């Protein structure tokens, strides 16, 4: 199952998550946000990258509902796994939590929350933003 790779390129991301903060790399050459963490901008190949706090909000692009628990970080089913388009322009795969799977919709607005899955490891997850 998923085991985060923590190295020199990804450590700032995982350290931020451990503090309850979602950080994204930004390219100083082309000014775009980058996700997943890496040493070189995938758009312009610059190595001039910096870490910035993300807004922590986004939109559900797609999702699926897992009705069986499996793997090391399994939770009580059903579990919602989603692709979320962050407001910074990057897409990430994540879990939607604190939501009934029947209420999840493509286009729903969500915000980040950090969940501890075991000692020493936290993951960024997302919860719905209540609609007015």
Omega before 19 within 30 of 0, i.e. cis: no
Torsion, CA 119, CA 59, CA 101, CA 73, rounded to 10: -20
pLDDT for the residue numbered 74: 58
pLDDT for the residue numbered 5: 82
- In 3D space, the residue among 120, 76, 126 whose CA is nearest the CA of residue 99 turns out to be 126
Q: What is the chain's pLDDT, residue by residue, as a tens digit (132 residues)?
A: 356 788 999 999 999 999 999 999 999 999 999 999 999 999 999 999 999 999 999 999 999 998 887 665 556 778 899 999 999 999 999 999 999 999 999 999 999 999 988 777 889 999 999 887
pLDDT for the residue numbered 1: 39
């Amino acid at each position: 199952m998923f085991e985060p790779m923590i190295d020199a390129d990804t450590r700032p991301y995982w350290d931020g998550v451990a503090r309850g903060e979602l950080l994204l790399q930004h390219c100083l050459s082309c000014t775009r946000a980058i996700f997943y963490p890496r040493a070189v901008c995938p758009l312009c190949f610059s190595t001039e990258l910096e870490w910035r706090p993300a807004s922590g909000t986004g939109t559900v692009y797609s999702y699926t509902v897992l009705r069986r628990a499996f793997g090391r970080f399994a939770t009580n089913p059903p579990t919602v796994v989603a692709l979320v388009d962050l407001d910074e322009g990057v897409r990430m795969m994540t879990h939607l939590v604190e939501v009934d799977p029947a209420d999840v919709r493509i286009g729903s607005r969500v915000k980040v929350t950090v969940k501890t899955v075991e000692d020493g490891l936290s993951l960024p997850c997302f919860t719905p933003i209540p609609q007015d």
